[in-house]
């Protein structure tokens, strides 16, 4: 794939039209007010038939499971049409990120992380009970792994616990933080360790539980204040002696070994290609705004675009745009061939795209000067929003580690 196809451009145009009509007039309320992003996201889903698409896909999957047919292998499910499916996912991400990257995070965590983890680990019964409503955005999901004392070392440092109770259920305790959708989530996937006598904390089994809003002992905090992504509500979760039956344990049986990490890793991989698409949207928009400003802003008697130091920034922005767009094209091309990136390659893409977006959005503020520091000119928001790309979904440092480990073990 070397360029967007006619269909891709049609999707882009129609999504852009929706965003300009529904999102742009509300950016102020989403970013600086109390408007949660979910109603607009639901409208987005219904306008483009996405909820319907999810429902149809889900029904097919459940039917297959009930007949006892094996789940389709990724290469079969993708293949022809796989590229289309990936494009339908990535183009809206790119477009939303031009104005409101936080909305992508809220949607991505609900559908891409929470529902996906129930689909990959849950039993058929559990999928029917929780996953479908999240896939259609009827309910909002949160995926709770990070804790105050464990971020990048999510598994090793995790303190949240599950303790077996005599009735066959579990007692859950622990605090989670930086949880996207935490304040509003209807359904929460809570990741913790099974407390067992004689097993060292680092070797304990990882368990995933599905919790519903309002369960006794579960407290969801108000949204936390943060640097950017204000349209994505982030919160804390506090669990004290939350009783969960075995029906809430994903898979409905404990894993045999100290496992649970491998599943999370494949989740991380999907997340990383989403970050490249987010970066592309932010870069495209920053470049567009900067270019218009460089032509129109006059200093020392000429448009600032005629000064070489401004030209250098614009040229670097364009290089970043081309590179990140090519990475997105590669993701789509791989999907259309039923392939996906290796873990290290996905890490490299995420690292590059996040750094490029951060640099481009900061440079945009610099081109705008004092105006750029003011919220009115929009580049300020993108600069704050882009910063998180280097932190969440694996920090730059974690990505570098993954790339280097892969290189050194080849």
Query: Which residue from 65, 84, 252, 396 is in contact with other proteins, where contact means CB under 8 A?
Result: 84
Rounded CA gap, 355 and 319, in Å? 13
124 φ/ψ angles, rounded to the nearest 5 degrees:
-55, -45
Q: Can residue 50 be called a binding residue for other proteins (CB under 8 A)? A: yes
Binding mask 92-131 for other proteins (x = CB under 8 A): x---------------------------------------
Q: Are 267 and 117 in contact (CB under 8 A)?
A: yes
Rounded CA gap, 74 and 66, in Å? 19
Comparison of 3 and 197: residue with beta carbon closer to other proteins: 3
**Number of residues binding to other proteins, judged by CB under 8 A:** 16
H helices of 128-191, in order, are 132-135
Overall residue count recorded for the chain in this entry: 410
Burial class (CB within 10 angstroms; exposed 0-12, middle 13-18, buried 19+) of 259: exposed
From the list 14-22, 97-105, 187-195, 356-364, the region that binds other proteins by CB under 8 A is: 14-22
Cα atoms found within 13 Å of the Cα of residue 21, Cβ hemisphere only:
9
From the list 3-11, 116-124, 135-143, 164-172, the region that binds other proteins by CB under 8 A is: 3-11
Rounded CA gap, 265 and 83, in Å? 22
Q: Can residue 47 be called a binding residue for other proteins (CB under 8 A)? A: yes
Q: Can residue 14 be called a binding residue for other proteins (CB under 8 A)? A: yes
Given the DSSP bridges, would you call strands 187-194 and 141-144 parallel, antiparallel or unpaired?
A: parallel
Comparison of 86 and 218: residue with beta carbon closer to other proteins: 86
CB of residue 329 to other proteins, shortest distance in Å: 18
CB of residue 47 to other proteins, shortest distance in Å: 5
Query: Which residue from 28, 39, 49, 153 is in contact with other proteins, where contact means CB under 8 A?
Result: 49
CB of residue 303 to other proteins, shortest distance in Å: 19
Comparison of 83 and 263: residue with beta carbon closer to other proteins: 83
At residue 211, the 3 state secondary structure works out as: strand
Identify the helix (H) or strand (E) that includes residue 209.
strand 206-212
- Chain residues that interact with other proteins, rule: CB under 8 A: 6-7, 10-11, 14, 17-18, 47-50, 52-53, 84, 88, 92
């Amino acid at each position: 794939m070397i360029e967007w196809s006619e269909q891709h451009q049609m999707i882009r145009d129609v999504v852009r039209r929706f965003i300009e009509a529904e999102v742009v007039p509300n950016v102020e309320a989403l970013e600086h007010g109390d408007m949660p992003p979910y109603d607009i996201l639901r409208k987005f889903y219904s306008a483009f038939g996405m909820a319907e698409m999810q429902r149809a896909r889900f029904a097919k999957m459940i039917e297959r499971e009930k007949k006892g047919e094996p789940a389709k292998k990724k290469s079969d499910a993708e293949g022809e049409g796989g590229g289309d499916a990936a494009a339908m996912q990535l183009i809206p991400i790119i477009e939303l990120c031009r104005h409101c990257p936080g909305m992508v995070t809220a949607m991505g965590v609900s559908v891409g992380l929470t529902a996906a983890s129930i689909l990959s680990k849950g039993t058929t019964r559990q999928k029917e009970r929780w996953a479908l409503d999240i896939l259609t955005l009827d309910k909002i999901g949160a995926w709770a792994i990070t804790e105050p004392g464990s971020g990048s070392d999510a598994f090793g440092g995790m303190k949240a616990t599950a303790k077996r109770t005599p009735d066959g259920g579990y007692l859950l305790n622990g605090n989670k933080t930086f949880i996207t959708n935490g304040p509003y989530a209807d359904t929460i996937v809570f990741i913790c360790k099974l407390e067992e006598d004689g097993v060292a904390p680092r070797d304990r089994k990882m368990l995933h539980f599905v919790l519903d809003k309002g369960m006794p002992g579960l407290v969801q905090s108000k949204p936390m204040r943060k640097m950017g992504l204000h349209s994505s509500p982030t919160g804390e979760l506090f669990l004290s002696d939350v009783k969960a039956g075995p029906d809430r344990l994903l898979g409905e049986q404990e894993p045999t070994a100290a496992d649970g990490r491998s599943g999370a890793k494949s989740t991380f991989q999907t997340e990383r290609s989403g970050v490249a698409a987010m970066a592309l949207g932010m870069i495209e928009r920053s470049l567009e705004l900067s270019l218009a400003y460089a032509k129109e802003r006059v200093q020392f008697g000429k448009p600032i675009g005629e000064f070489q130091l401004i030209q250098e920034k614009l040229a670097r922005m364009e290089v970043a745009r081309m590179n990140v767009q090519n990475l997105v094209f590669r993701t789509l091309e791989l999907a259309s061939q039923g392939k996906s990136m290796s873990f290290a390659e996905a890490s490299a893409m995420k690292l590059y795209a996040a750094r490029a977006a951060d640099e481009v959005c900061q440079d945009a503020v610099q081109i705008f000067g004092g105006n750029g520091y003011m919220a009115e000119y929009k580049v300020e928001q993108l600069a704050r929003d882009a910063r998180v790309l280097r932190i969440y979904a694996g920090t730059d440092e974690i990505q570098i580690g993954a790339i280097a480990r892969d290189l050194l073990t080849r």
